[in-house]
Amino acid sequence: MAASAVEEDPYTPNEPTAATLAGSVAVGECVADAPYISYDIRLTDPDKQSTGNTASLVLSSGANVVTIPLGTLVNNRLTGTVLWPGASADDEGNATGWPGWALKDGTWVETSGNFAWTRGNISAVIKVNPEMPVALSYPAASPNCATPPTALSPETPGSPASAGDPALAATGGSLPYLAAGVGVVLVGLGAAVVVYRRRSARP
């Protein structure tokens, strides 16, 4: 009896390449004293594995979560900017509100509300399906761009000194008086030396 040979099927189905958001970024930046998130989302999906094209950004501190809608990808790409949670701006783009700050009786005071937690240690994830974590932090203030309000409540700890700060005014104003005092002392010493020389010159 002839032995039968079993032929192996050489065909191996190709595994589809998973969609990825590699190269996507989200960055905190300050524009006209207002905090923004600038984003550039790139979807690579050669085998059409993604089940959506709407992007969002999820911020979390562990105890708090906020989802920021970003928009719809066109040709697997989406770029733009969005105000930081808790921030606001007028029609000209000038800042009118900041996370963790509230305007009370005409004075900006720090508060634990209004998304104050987003200024701390947070995690951020871009979601399209797939999703990807990104490094994101609240934009730091600079001499040209203030991410907290510049006019702070006098009782607010750590508030920056202004040009009208009494401490600065007193320090600056005391310099002329100090210089004048030094001048008077020097003149007095000079007069004393002259008198001494005259007395020494007498026979």
Tens of pLDDT, residue by residue over 167-195, are 322 233 333 333 434 444 444 444 444 44
Mean pLDDT of 142-166: 55
- In the structure, what pLDDT confidence band is assigned to residue 4 with cuts at 50, 70 and 90? low
Mean pLDDT of 133-147: 93
Among candidates 54, 31, 30, which has minimal Cα distance to 41?
A: 54
Residue percentage of the chain with pLDDT more than 90:
60
pTM: 0.69
Among candidates 104, 18, 120, which has minimal Cα distance to 59?
A: 120
Cβ atoms < 10 Å from Cβ of 203: 2
The end-to-end CA distance of the chain, in Å, is 154
Strand partners, 92: none
pLDDT of residue 7: 61
Strands 95-97 and 88-89: antiparallel
- In the structure, what pLDDT confidence band is assigned to residue 19 with cuts at 50, 70 and 90? very high
Strands 34-42 and 77-83: antiparallel
* Lowest mean pLDDT segment, chosen from 86-90, 121-125, 165-169: 165-169
Counted residue by residue, the chain has a size of 203
157 to each of 113, 128, 153, 183, how far by Cα in Å? 17, 41, 9, 40
- Give the residue with greater pLDDT, 159 vs 190: 190
pLDDT tens digits along 27-72? 999 999 999 999 999 999 999 999 889 999 999 999 999 999 999 9
Report how far Cα 26 is from the mean position of its chain's Cα atoms.
12
- Give the residue with greater pLDDT, 140 vs 151: 140
CB 68, CB 86: distance < 8 Å: no
Tokens representing residue 69 in the block? 């809608």
pLDDT of residue 6: 57
CB 41, CB 21: distance < 8 Å: yes
Distance CA 55, CA 77 (A): 10
pLDDT of residue 198: 44
